[in-house]
Amino acid sequence: MNRVAVIGGGMTLFRRRLLETGKELSFLAAKMAMEDSGIEKKDLDMVVMGSAPDAFDGIHMKGENLLDGAAATNKPYVRLFNGGGTGVFAPIAGWWHVASGVADTVLVVCEEKMSSCFPHPQTAFQHIWDPILDRPLHPNLVWLFAMEMNRYMTMHNIKKEDIALVAVKNKRNAVGHPSAQLPDEKITVEDVLNSEIMAWPVQRLDISPPSDGASALILCSEDRAKQYTDDPIFIDGVGWNIDSTMWTNRDLYFPRYVANAAKMAYKMADIHDPKKEIDFAEPYDPFDYKELHHLEGLLLCDKGEAPILTREGVTQRDGKLPVCPSGGLLGVGNPIAATMGQKVCELYWQLSGKAGKRQIPTDPQVGVGQAWGDIMQMGTVIVMRRG
Amino acid sequence: MMTIKSKTEGYPRYAPGTHVSGRDISNKNVTYSWWEPEVQYSWSLGPAYGRFLQELKKGKIIGRSCKKCERVIVPPRMFCEYCYRSTDEWIYLKDTGKVETFSISYLDPNARRIKEPILIGVISIDGASPMHGFMHYFNDMKPEDLKIGMKVKAVWKSEKERTGSITDIKYFKPMNEGDK
Amino acid sequence: MTFYEKQTDPSSPMHWLGDMQADYLYPNGKAGDKLFKHIKENDTFLASKCINCSKIFFPPRLYCEDCFVEILEKDWFEIPSTGKIRLHTIVTINTYGEKLNEPKMIALIDIDNTDGALLGIIKTDNIDENLIGRKVEAVFKSKNQREGTLKDILYFKMR
């Protein structure tokens, strides 16, 4: 198996609605990653596209629509998705291409345009429910997360104040990220607790915003990487796992599928004690409680312990285990698949010391990124390491 | 409408893109196309959901057992996804259960705000395996009285109104001492 | 593995009906917005040219998909709204499969001075004639009725 390096990343602006088409956004992100790494279209062996369900963009077979903006014309190309898990799953697929030896250099592009769907992207989310047993109840997807959050809070007796700390931290971390949609230097726990109730226990500031955007990464083999950089960052572990779709037949308080995916990635990366060996994490945070839920799933703390670490400041950028130094989905925005920008590009920028204002001060060597998708059932995990 | 190319010292060095506000759309500052898909679907129920809905029409909740893992599964399926074998028998369950989780929603399906909250949750059904149940509404209670672990009972539509749908159960209400 | 249970009762429910409720608003994009704003005010088109391979895009694009370079403002220019028919077909039914009052000709038109093409309706007296290679020009709605969409082009007429 070839060792796989990351040598470039790119991200567009994240906003509720962007003028650019999905193709144009893909181009802007891909071009940035290519310029960052010194790679041109002719150097690319293959291209991977990640984009969540077609119903958001409102273009069926989105992959085919986006390919020319992803430098994929006349190249081996695949588009894949597993809902919110896509932002980490697409680079995992890029990793397969290079690790297997079938490609030396691969471009991974992730794109999402959630603004196309009217009256709200939630309208598209209706169509992911079971049409026979769920849809007749006219569900809203926020219900699903509210129910998971409630179960998690109740089982561990967690206070909303402790969960709100995550939203505060991430929106503050996003300050200085040029793509960020909702950075907020001054936000407080009270702001979160006093925000509008959407579906209790979920309040407005507990949720990341729907966004348009794209992100891109250049992956290549270790030998090829040496031609472009003296300081490549490596993908040393990948993992993915899916739980039962019958979510009313399982306990939602712990994401065992994330734990399974994490174990797979840690084993590959030769990590035996993640709590000691991982320097920082970018868990998926579409809701503030999800960061905590996923830290536990990633085995970076015990079950029910994540809120305590957060309260004690361990997960701050200058803490012992910085979490979501990018600003996460809560601060930077949530164009579903394109959150690869926060979950994987950020690992690359942090590990190579390029994160500027967002840089973790403690010279991190190993980072883990994670995404979560489909109906609360998909865990995708990536472990990246310096040198 | 404005193009933002903010520069930072770190990466990403800039973030290309052109923000379009709601006002840009309503004032037609940008050109756009509008599309309303007209599609309809007919989903096959299959034998498991078909029987489940047929029994709901009769005012009964039915599950399906797997003899290997000894689960009683509801909603019923014709195969056990864990043992990866056919399930074995139909088993009638009670129309009572326990609240496993819930939410009090001020959002309608299109994320529009509503004044009267919808009480929604997952009910594990008595007679099925632990944590086995389905999503439904709650009513006949104050939002603040809804608790995880609470015992609830189905409130059915009248026999005449029932059509063979999950909505043949109107909602679940708190279980009283006399309820069976 | 087989299912032991069969559905034998014809009165038992077999299907569940539903639809897809969602509408879509697509901004025309950075390049598209420029083209459609131009069409709203002019009876001509815009094209964009890749400085690397000299390919001229119509509809104009923000980037060249082959060279993967951005096309800058200075490489955009106005072109006449004329072209040649590459392919054509006759349409006799609408989207719902119902018969049209009058059949209409749809053509792929190579736009003059560009490497691009556009789908359009052809107005012709003799719809059965082979028109491949014939010169056509766009007929627009009156300017006060234009909305900045493809529908601002009513049809193409023979030159």
Give pLDDT tens digits for A295-332: 999 999 999 999 999 999 999 999 999 999 999 999 99
From CA A35, how far away is CA A39, in angstroms rounded?
A: 7
3-state secondary structure of A2: coil
Contact B8 A12 (CB under 8 A): no
pLDDT single digits (tens) A199-257: 999 999 999 999 999 999 999 999 999 999 988 999 999 999 999 999 999 999 999 99
CB-based contact C15 B42, cutoff 8 Å? yes
| pLDDT, average across residues A74-95 | 97
The DSSP string of B25-88 is HHTTSS-EEEE----EEEEE-HHHHHHHHHHHHTT-EEEEEETTTTEEESS--SEETTTTEE--
Q: How many CB pairs under 8 A join A and B?
A: 191
Q: In this complex, how many residue pairs, one in chain B and one in chain C, have their CB atoms less than 8 Å apart?
A: 91
Whether residue A117 and residue C68 make contact (CB cut-off 8 A), yes or no, is no
Q: How many whole angstroms separate alpha carbon A377 and alpha carbon A369?
A: 17
pTM reported for the whole predicted model: 0.94
- Contact flag A20-C23 (C-beta cutoff 8 Å): no
Per-residue confidence (pLDDT) for residue C2, from 0 to 100: 60
Domain assignment of residue A158, yes or no = no
**Average confidence (pLDDT) over A139-162:** 95
- The pLDDT value recorded for residue B6 is 46
- With vertex at residue A73, the alpha carbon angle to CA A67 and CA A76, rounded to the nearest 5 degrees, is 90
In this structure, is residue A377 part of a structural domain?
A: yes
* Residue A221 CB coordination number (10 Å): 19
Domain that holds residue A67: 4-118+209-386
Q: Provide the shortest C-alpha distance from residue A250 to chain C (in Å).
A: 24
Tell me the C-alpha to C-alpha distance, in Å, between residue B100 and each of A287, A355, A381, B108, B174: 21, 43, 29, 22, 14
Q: Is the pLDDT of residue B3 over 70?
A: no
Chain A residues near any Cβ of chain C (below 8 Å): 17-21, 23-24, 27, 30-31, 34, 40-41, 55, 58, 68-69, 71, 73, 115-119, 123-124, 126-127, 131-132, 135
Give residue for tokens 């056509």: C136
A contacts of C27 (beta carbons < 8 Å): 17-21, 115
Paired tokens of A371 = 């995404």
A249 touches B: beta carbon within 8 Å: yes
Q: Which residues contact A378 (CB under 8 A, 6 or more apart)?
A: A82, A83, A84, A85, A89, A240, A241, A242, A243, A257, A372
| pLDDT recorded at residue C6 | 67
Q: Is A324 helix (H, G, I), strand (E, B) or coil?
A: coil
Distant-in-sequence, close-in-space partners of C18: CB < 8 Å, separation ≥ 6: A131, A135, B40, B41, B43
pLDDT reported for residue A57: 85
The amino acid occupying position C37 is K
Q: Is pLDDT of A262 > 90?
A: yes
Strands (E) in chain A, as ranges, are 4-11, 46-50, 77-80, 105-113, 117-118, 197-200, 202-203, 212-221, 233-242, 280-282, 366-373, 378-386
Distance CA B92, CA B96 (A): 12
In the 8-state DSSP scheme, what is residue A151?
Answer: H
- Determine whether the interchain pair A69/C25 forms a contact, defined as Cβ–Cβ distance below 8 Å: no
Report pLDDT digits (tens) over A334-373: 999 999 999 999 999 999 999 999 999 999 999 999 999 9
Per-window interface: B 83-112 vs A, CB < 8 A: 100-112
Element (H or E) spanning A32, and its range? helix A22-37
* Residue closest to A124 by CA, chosen among B106, B109, B39, C18: B109
What CATH number has the domain bearing residue A216?
Answer: 3.40.47.10
Does residue B126 have a pLDDT over 90? yes
Quick: pLDDT tens for A18-57.
999 999 999 999 999 999 999 999 999 999 999 998 888 8
Contacting C residues, span 96-155, partner chain B, CB-CB under 8 Å: 147-150
A32, A37, A41, A140: best mutation site toward chain C, by most C Cβ within 10 Å? A41
pLDDT at residue A274 above 70? yes
3-state secondary structure of B93: strand
Which residues in chain C touch residue B28, judged by CB atoms under 8 angstroms apart?
Answer: 148
How far apart are alpha carbons A257 and A260 in whole angstroms?
Answer: 5
Which chains share 3+ C-beta pairs under 8 angstroms with A? Answer: B, C
- Choose from C21, C26, C28, C68 for mutation: most chain A CBs within 10 A: C68
Cα gap C47→B15, rounded to integer Å: 26
- The letter for the amino acid at B125 is I
Residue A159, domain member (yes or no): no
Which residues in A lie closer than 8 A to residue C37 (C-beta atoms)?
Answer: none
Residue-level pLDDT at C13: 77
Q: What angle do CA A132, A133, A136 make, to 5 degrees?
A: 75
Verify whether the Cβ–Cβ distance A40 to C65 is below 8 Å. Answer: no
Q: Which residues of chain C have pLDDT under 70?
A: 1-8
Burial of B53 (C-beta count, 10 Å sphere; 0-12/13-18/19+): buried
Interface of B with C (CB under 8 A): 18, 20, 25, 28, 30-37, 39-45, 47, 49-51, 53-54, 78-79, 84-86, 88, 90, 164
B125 SS3 class = strand
Cβ within 8 Å, pair C13-B50: yes
Q: Does the pLDDT at position A164 exceed 60?
A: yes
In a domain, A157, yes or no: no
Top pLDDT among B4 and B95 is at: B95
> Residue A144 in contact with residue A152, Cβ under 8 Å?
no
A residues 114-133 closer than 8 Å to B (CB)? 115, 119-120, 122-123, 126, 131-133
**Maximal C-alpha separation, chain C:** 72
Residue A272 has pLDDT above 70, yes or no: yes
Residue A189 has pLDDT above 70, yes or no: yes
Q: Which residue has the tokens 């159960």?
A: B169
Based on the structure, what is the number of domains in chain A?
1
Chains that touch C (3 or more CB pairs under 8 A): A, B
Q: Cβ(B127)–Cβ(B97) under 8 Å?
A: no
The structural domains of chain C, with segments of one domain joined by +, span: 29-158
- Average pLDDT (B5-21) is 82
Does residue C120 contact residue C59 with C-beta atoms inside 8 Å? no
The residues pairing with A50 across neighbouring beta strands, listed in sequence order, are A80, A110
Average pLDDT, chain A: 96
Predicted pLDDT of residue C4: 61
Which CATH code for domain C29-158?
2.40.50.840
Q: What pLDDT score does B9 carry?
A: 74
Beta bridge partners of B63: B91
Residue B30 has pLDDT above 70, yes or no: yes
Question: Chain A residues with CB inside 8 Å of B45's CB?
Answer: 132
Mean pLDDT score of chain C: 92
Please give the structure tokens belonging to residue C7.
């559905």
Which residue from A minimizes the CA distance to B46?
A132
pLDDT(A194) > 80: yes
Chain C hits for B39, Cβ within 8 Å = 19-20
Cα–Cα dist A371/A81, whole Å: 12
Query: Following CA atoms B22, B25, B28, B29 in sequence, which dihedral angle do they give, to the nearest 10 degrees?
Result: 70
**Alpha-carbon torsion A168, A9, C25, B31, what sign?**
positive
CB–CB of A123 and B102 under 8 A?
A: no
Give the pLDDT of residue B39.
Answer: 84
Q: Do C65 and A115 touch (CB under 8 A)?
A: no
| A201: preceding bond cis by omega (within 30 degrees) | yes
Can you give the pLDDT at residue C20? 79
Q: Between chains, do B166 and A137 touch, taking CB under 8 Å as contact? A: yes
Which H or E run includes A256? helix A256-268
With respect to residue A191, please indicate whether it lies within any of the assigned structural domains. no
